[in-house]
Structure 1
Amino acid sequence: MVLTGGKPMPTGHATGGTGPARSRERFLQGEPVEAGVRTSILSSWQRSRSLGLSPDQADLPFRDDFDRDARIVRAAVPVLDRLQARFAGSKMNISVADASGTVLLRRFGEASLARSLPAFQRVPGFVFAERVAGTNGIGLALAERQLIRVHGAEHFAERSQRSACRALPVRDPLSGRIEGVLCFGYPSSTEDPELAITLRKAAQAIERRLLRQSSARERALLRAYLDTGAATSAGLHHTVGVDELALELHPRDRAVLTEKAAELISRGQRAAAVVSLFDGRRVTLVSRPMRSGSGVEGVAIEAVLPGPAPREPLAVPTQVDVTPGGSGRLAVVTAVPPPRFVAAAAAPGRLPVATLARHLPDIAHGPFGTVGRGGVADDHPDAPPRARGLVMVGEPRVGTYALAARRRLELLSEASARIGTTLDVRRTAQELAETAVPRLADFVTIDLPEAVLRGEESADPRTDLHRTVVHGISDDLPFSPVGKQVDFGPTTPQIRCLTSGQAVLEPDLKAAAGWLAQDPEHTERLLTQVHSLIAVPLVARGVILGIASFYRAQDPAPFGDDDRSLGLELASRAALSIDNARRYTRERTMVLTLQRSLLPHDLPVQDAVEIAHRYLPAESDVGGDWYDVIPLSGTRIGLFVGDVVGHGMLSAATMGQLRTAARSFAELDFPPDEVLTHLDNLVGRLDREEPAAGAGVIGATCLYAVYDPTSQQCTMARAGHPPPALVRPDGTVSFPDLPAGPPLGLGGLPFESAEIHLPEGSRLLLYTDGLIEDRQRDVDVVLDQLRGALAHPEQTPEQTCQTVLETVAPAHPCDDIALLVARTHALDPRRIAAWDLPADPARVSEVRASALRQLADWGLDEAAFAAELMLSELVTNAIRHGAGPIRVRLLHGRTLICEVSDASNTAPHLRRAASTDEGGRGLFLVAQLAQSWGTRYLPEGKVIWAECGLDAA
């Protein structure tokens, strides 16, 4: 047991024992390592091997020119002295290295330990960066930029197999940059969980001392400003805060002045800027370079506010407080009530031009205006200055940090508005890239799995990445093009990022092991143009969706930890939007699949009309638009177009129910107005049932047209639906004025139908309201466009559909669009035969003989036997059970249709006749001989029809 600071340190389980040792042995032999070693350690091993390092390498680079008086050395010495006292008597090796991995300080818990260790473990100056030393505590802490632990066999080098260490980066509180690494080394047989807590507290103590160093420099600058007498040379103003100077300053003005002061400090030279305040006043900010007695160089920012003279002179306080702004912020000066004031040397409220000119010997140009020698803004040449006071002091580099911090906040605010404006995965990824360039990076690539682009989850995003976005300040860099599958090597920052789920920063790509393996075909050219990389995983709700890579090219400054944090924040926001888009894409794909499965796949073969159709889903969501084409008896054809109110799964499912019901009602040969009445009742029932499930009100519109090629008449009725467009054979376009019935589901009102004559070659366009109704367009203008698109009689229905979608449909439809174009044909009168006869059984034989002669003329001798039997039965039933007059009609189309009509509404019923029954077998015989048969009702009477093939036996 080893004593740590007078306390026993328990001997824990040696994680560097057989498990990691076997894994390391397999790794060095080139075998795959799947378990038994942590991801960060395995990644470091892979980088070490790709750099050509040998585990047997004994020597480390040594530098004798390291800065022994560096900032981190001055901040760390007292902390390391306290740690040495705490770990007195133990085998603890405490070290501090700089940001390059060079050890600057060493302390030992046991004095004799220094004499027994090899030189690289006891002498400052040795470099432990991962690229030269392999996997070790200091190098891995710099690579991972977080607290790490390396134990025993997890070290890459043989020389460190018996050691363990914990290391943590130490950051500058102002800039956030890594100043160095604090590392605890101890024997691998010893482990204490409390070491991590002690390490964090010690690193925080060093960081606080770094902050105090900056505060001391700021206080020295402020004292130098006061000692110069600049604040009292005018004799009328004192050192105040911005809000004291401006008197009840608006919060927005305070922020603008602070930002502008930080910008002037970051320039590090004499300058001035005129800032417009919220109430119309103008403040001139003047920057004065200065040097303290200790050699600290900085800038003081003074404010000059023109206006009426104050009643009392202002004076300089003898004491001031400097409040450090924390990470990335400047110190703001606030006044402390002084025991006495210095009397003004000039008239109250007036500052002689000659006095001010001493502070501004040259004309200075600021981004918000120009200040001349007199300190008076050019646009107010006669306005006298009211007061002058100190706003801020600081060093240029601190001002740069403050500006960078503010710009990062502005970028995050902008990202909230720019990223996620649509529910499209690719567009959201593009918005992330556009937001980051050029404010954060010069180039951005985003890689997503193909599954994510389809709306699914990827099983392993490391093996299924496709280049989705390439965006940057130019288009000439050889990144893999959009759409190409990207295969990253196992040691690349991208794979490390996906494996760990953490952002990976590579400030210098030339020293980044394995990075070039991601794009070997463009290695040399890519490396000459980009120099720094941040790889950030796109993680949302615990799922890795892909990866974003930020590159620096033109900007010579490498990425830092603040940049990594910013990239991670941007990626996190974008990932949530991408995941929302992915989920929406999945749901939309499901609804669209359901919608398309419920629409007709193959239109029926018929001769009444030539059909073309289109379905175009909305960009944002899928609705319930539908169409259908239904063959009816007597060579007629039924044409449906409908629209279920709303979007999503419910609308698509309701559309399926409505279309199925509409087809059923149509096949029962109900006229259009009756079909709509039945559909209205159905929607009303669904509306009463669905609220119980919380689905809300259901509504729908519909238009139903029945075209008869034997008479060229079309009967139409509509329920809240736009009227169709009719194109005559001569190209005349009209919109028939059909009776406008209410939408389906309201109930209580009858529907009316209208009959229109359609000459052969007419085109009928049925459509849903998504074609003509748009928030950005006037309906009358759209109808005129539709009229122009249809005024081409030579076009086929397919060409008509395409023309309408290209010229009339909105570019980004917010509602579904369903189109159905039908060009009419007429049945040749020579293929129609009809006979009228009285209700006399003796006339049946005459009709039968006439029909046989007609079939012979048509060349349908093979169908004559079946037709003769069907006609005999149908005519006999009409004479016995119906009422005159009786009409017989034969239609020769794709099939042979026999129709018998009478004035009675009594319908025949098929039944099974008993062996003792004398009748009842006629309809059974008709059903056996015909392909189909049925009854169609007329305004007066009915038609019984039977259809058989042309080659029927």
Structure 2
Amino acid sequence: MGPLADNDPDGHVDQAAAAMLEALFTQSPIGLHLVDPDLRVVRVNTATPWMRAAGLEEIRGRRVRDVYRLVDADVEALLKDVLDTGTPLLRHVVRILVDDPPTERMFEVSALRLEGPGGKVLGVGAIAVDVTERERAQARTRMLDRVRERVGRTLDPAVIGEELAAILVPDFADVVTVEVVDAVIRGDDPPLAHAPIGTLVMRTAFRSAADGTAQQVHAVGDVRRLAGPTPFTQALADLSPRMVRLHPGTPWLSADPALAKAVRAAHGHSLLVVPLALRDAALGLVSLYRAERSPAFDEEDRALAMEVGTHTALCLENARRYTREHTIAATVQRQLLPRRPEAQAWLETAYLSLTGADPGAWYDTTALSSARTALVVGKVSGGGLEAAATMGQLRTAIRSLSAFELAPDELLARLHDTADRLATERARLPLGDPLRQEKLTADCVYAVHDPLTGRCTAASAGHLAPLLARPEGTVDVLGTPAGPRLGSAEGAPFAAVEADVPPGSVLVFTSDPLLTAYLAENPGPLASVSRYGARPLQDLCDALVYALPAGMGVRDAAVIVARTRVFPPDQCAVWPLAPDPTAVSAVRRRTREQLAVWDVDEETAYNTQLIASELVTNALRYGRPPIELRLIHGRTLTCEVRDADMAAPHLRHAGTVDEGGRGLFIVAQLAQAWGTRLTGPGKTIWAEQTL
């Protein structure tokens, strides 16, 4: 140590401290500020890069708010709080505009109250560190995390674009547009790299930090061809981003005058076009604009935008694949479902249109013998193509079973066995097949309407039940006992319920129990079905759709609406028959007379007489009384004979020397269709002819 250190250590320390302060205020890159109690600048560190252009004499004595161009913080209020309370301000980030043209920078500010002897407040000492790059890096990381967390939560390309734009504006860009290749929206394969100029794109999202005219250029939902050459077409062509400085003379803007006008109105100065690409296929574009005082895009922004674009492209590809599978499943469903309702003339039916939202849902109507109609609605668990295929199998099975004239509860029991076999086949799939892990179950309601008795018999597998709206305005759920779901391990029996359905009533079958429950509690048009009696049934269907609240539509459910009509009494003739062989001649006579009243042609009348005589002969020989003959003149001409015996006849070919056994063979040759229906106690043998 020199003499000064030995003789005057305090003086040496004071000199060193003064020298250190001087060095900090003149050489340190860290911003130092000395502010008096009136918040006027006493001294600053002019060696920091953002203060080198300003001299100390220019800012000394000026208030802090007059020296710095603050963006979003009142620094004077913060410093005043330090003066008043003595509580230090630590690492508070503020945004300040520096340089010319103004550029936004972020500084981490810490401030301490300066006190003299006796605790006198001398002012505030503040330290400011430029943390712009750190804050931007952290902001990029946070933004990328938000994109990964929030974008792609749905499988809707339009929603994906909206989610992305909501995150990017205003933190990353002032204006964002998202455009998706039109083929991707439809679920088709996207074009590979070098997508030609004129590729069709749909704008799925637009967001702006301020009101402007950019949104009026191309509305969300518009499909257009990209004019070119522009940065947009170039980015789609080689799947590389484009970072462009915008100015009034930018030549490619002439290809889209409306866009050029919008850019000028918004004072846009920087454009970053990011292709949404995956495996060398172009899925869309994200266009980001910065305007006014926002800094121009840089290489780090480009890198972040590419990461965002990669994640968004992956979400769009998932949505495209879902749309494609959904479209295929919907197409299969449309091919498997009936195009038009098939019903008797006394039951008017209509299907509410489906969009394939639930490919496992199905509906069907089948015209049965004796003017009856079968109605069925069901829903297979799962989704996609597998659900549509299983739905087709079950619908075909029901069609086949209905030909056997089974009661609704018995038909569902047979269908349950069929579903069990299908489930067993699925369980035997290879271990790696994902379908093996999906349990096959289905809900179904099957009903038969008989206009001659005015009754409807229904049975349910699962929790589906039809609604019955009567002409007087009452709306009830037919209390069909809930049987086991088709394909389930439950072995409980099915039960049927029978209800009176007066003419003018409306039956509604849906594959969604929630929709049925809503219509039961809020019947709307169903409570006034009498007003629709003379109008087309489609008017009532439309009224039901209009009455549903937002978010609950029929597009996710299979729906049948059926309206009953009066069966004319003079179109049905019934004769009880005595168990006497001479009754056959009386049957021919009565049949001939009745068909003459109905003005049936001679050939059909002759055939009907033969059919009636053969059926009555068969009942007299093999059946038990009481015996009854009924003729029904509807869409077809039906001849049926009832007796009390439960034994069903079968068709056989009689030998050459046999004296009998040809009755049912003759009936089968003359009739378009024939069959046996068990009606406890007893049976009904019927035969139909086309009129």
Q: TM-score, normalised by structure 2?
A: 0.79
Look up the match of 1:543. 281
Report the count of equivalent residues. 606
Aligned partner letter, 1:626: W
Separation in 2 of the partners of 1:522 and 1:689?
A: 60
Aligned partner letter, 1:630: T
Choose from 594, 599, 605 the match for 2:337.
599
Quote the offset at 1:556 in angstroms. 5.4
Choose from 814, 817, 821 the match for 2:561.
821
Look up the match of 1:733. 475
Separation in 1 of the partners of 2:108 and 2:172?
A: 29
Separation in 2 of the partners of 1:345 and 1:400?
A: 32
Separation in 2 of the partners of 1:661 and 1:298?
A: 72
State the SS of the aligned residue for 2:538: helix
Separation in 2 of the partners of 1:556 and 1:876?
A: 99
Separation in 1 of the partners of 2:272 and 2:29?
A: 38
Look up the match of 1:666. 402
Look up the match of 1:717. 459
Quote the offset at 1:593 in angstroms. 1.9
State the SS of the aligned residue for 2:296: coil
Choose from 166, 183, 186 the match for 1:451.
183
Look up the match of 2:59. none
Alignment of 1:784 onto 2:516: no
State the SS of the aligned residue for 2:120: helix
Quote the offset at 1:787 in angstroms. 6.5
Look up the match of 2:123. 358
Separation in 1 of the partners of 2:222 and 2:292?
A: 26
State the SS of the aligned residue for 1:793: helix
Separation in 2 of the partners of 1:627 and 1:298?
A: 64
Separation in 2 of the partners of 1:920 and 1:274?
A: 114
Look up the match of 2:577. 837
Look up the match of 1:912. 653
Look up the match of 2:419. 683
Q: After the TM superposition, which residues 493-892 of structure 1 pair with which residues of structure 2 at under 5 Å, given as runs?
A: 493-510=231-248, 512-517=250-255, 519-520=256-257, 523=260, 526-527=263-264, 529=266, 530-555=268-293, 557-616=295-354, 622-693=358-429, 694-745=436-487, 746-772=489-515, 783-786=520-523, 789-795=526-532, 797-808=537-548, 811=551, 816-862=556-602, 863-892=604-633
Separation in 2 of the partners of 1:741 and 1:416?
A: 45
Distance 1:354 1:265, change over 3 A: farther
Look up the match of 1:373. none
Quote the offset at 1:945 in angstroms. 1.0
Q: TM-score, normalised by structure 1?
A: 0.58
Separation in 1 of the partners of 2:87 and 2:552?
A: 47
Aligned partner letter, 1:561: E
Separation in 2 of the partners of 1:908 and 1:671?
A: 19
Quote the offset at 1:511 in angstroms. 5.8
Aligned partner letter, 1:663: R
Q: After the TM superposition, which residues 305-320 of structure 1 pair with which residues of structure 2 at under 5 Å, given as runs?
A: none
Aligned partner letter, 1:564: R
Separation in 1 of the partners of 2:551 and 2:496?
A: 34
Alignment of 1:415 onto 2:167: no
Quote the offset at 1:272 in angstroms. 6.5
Distance 1:810 1:757, change over 3 A: same
State the SS of the aligned residue for 2:382: strand
**8 A Cα contact 1:450 1:466, kept in partner:** yes
Quote the offset at 1:870 in angstroms. 1.1
Q: Give CA-to-partner distance per residue, 1:336-374, whole Å, 9 cap, x none.
A: xxxxxxxx9989xxxx6534x4226xxxxxxxxxxxxxx
Quote the offset at 1:527 in angstroms. 4.5
Consecutive unaligned residues of structure 2, counting only runs of 5 or more, are 1-22, 37-67, 97-104, 430-435
Alignment of 1:471 onto 2:207: yes
Distance 1:602 1:488, change over 3 A: closer
Separation in 2 of the partners of 1:736 and 1:705?
A: 11
Q: Give CA-to-partner distance per residue, 1:308-330, whole Å, 9 cap, x none.
A: xxxxxxxxxxxxxxxxxxxxxxx
**8 A Cα contact 1:622 1:647, kept in partner:** yes
Alignment of 1:284 onto 2:89: yes
Aligned partner letter, 2:621: R
**8 A Cα contact 2:201 2:226, kept in partner:** no
Distance 1:578 1:283, change over 3 A: farther
Q: Give CA-to-partner distance per residue, 1:541-563, whole Å, 9 cap, x none.
A: 44220111112333453322232
**8 A Cα contact 1:505 1:535, kept in partner:** yes
Separation in 2 of the partners of 1:218 and 1:887?
A: 119
Separation in 2 of the partners of 1:734 and 1:542?
A: 58
Aligned partner letter, 1:665: L
Aligned partner letter, 1:786: P
Separation in 1 of the partners of 2:289 and 2:454?
A: 70
**8 A Cα contact 2:155 2:322, kept in partner:** yes
Look up the match of 1:221. 28
Q: Give CA-to-partner distance per residue, 1:381-420, whole Å, 9 cap, x none.
A: xxxxxxxxx8x653xxx44444433333332233233322
Distance 1:820 1:345, change over 3 A: closer
Separation in 1 of the partners of 2:79 and 2:452?
A: 87
Q: Give CA-to-partner distance per residue, 1:498-545, whole Å, 9 cap, x none.
A: 22221110023446543432x146545645643321111001344220
Of residues 549-558 and 935-944 in structure 1, the stretch that sits farther from structure 2 once superposed is: 549-558
Distance 1:920 1:502, change over 3 A: same
Percent identity over paired residues? 37
**8 A Cα contact 1:608 1:708, kept in partner:** no
Quote the offset at 1:687 in angstroms. 2.1
Separation in 2 of the partners of 1:446 and 1:299?
A: 33
Separation in 1 of the partners of 2:548 and 2:261?
A: 51
Alignment of 1:425 onto 2:167: no
**8 A Cα contact 2:199 2:226, kept in partner:** no
**8 A Cα contact 1:268 1:298, kept in partner:** no
Separation in 2 of the partners of 1:286 and 1:939?
A: 90
Q: Give CA-to-partner distance per residue, 1:28-52, whole Å, 9 cap, x none.
A: xxxxxxxxxxxxxxxxxxxxxxxxx
Alignment of 1:302 onto 2:115: no
Quote the offset at 1:672 in angstroms. 0.8
Separation in 2 of the partners of 1:456 and 1:841?
A: 72
Of residues 635-644 and 919-928 in structure 1, the stretch that sits farther from structure 2 once superposed is: 919-928
Separation in 2 of the partners of 1:809 and 1:691?
A: 40
State the SS of the aligned residue for 2:531: coil
Look up the match of 1:121. none
Separation in 2 of the partners of 1:690 and 1:217?
A: 79
Separation in 2 of the partners of 1:475 and 1:265?
A: 25
Separation in 2 of the partners of 1:652 and 1:616?
A: 13
Q: Give CA-to-partner distance per residue, 1:445-482, whole Å, 9 cap, x none.
A: 22222210011222354442223133323352352334
Distance 1:846 1:506, change over 3 A: same
Separation in 2 of the partners of 1:566 and 1:487?
A: 28
Quote the offset at 1:630 in angstroms. 0.8
Q: Give CA-to-partner distance per residue, 1:586-614, whole Å, 9 cap, x none.
A: 11112222223222211125212111222
Alignment of 1:944 onto 2:685: yes
Separation in 2 of the partners of 1:503 and 1:265?
A: 33
**8 A Cα contact 1:275 1:283, kept in partner:** no
Distance 1:802 1:268, change over 3 A: closer
**8 A Cα contact 2:191 2:281, kept in partner:** no
Quote the offset at 1:299 in angstroms. 7.8
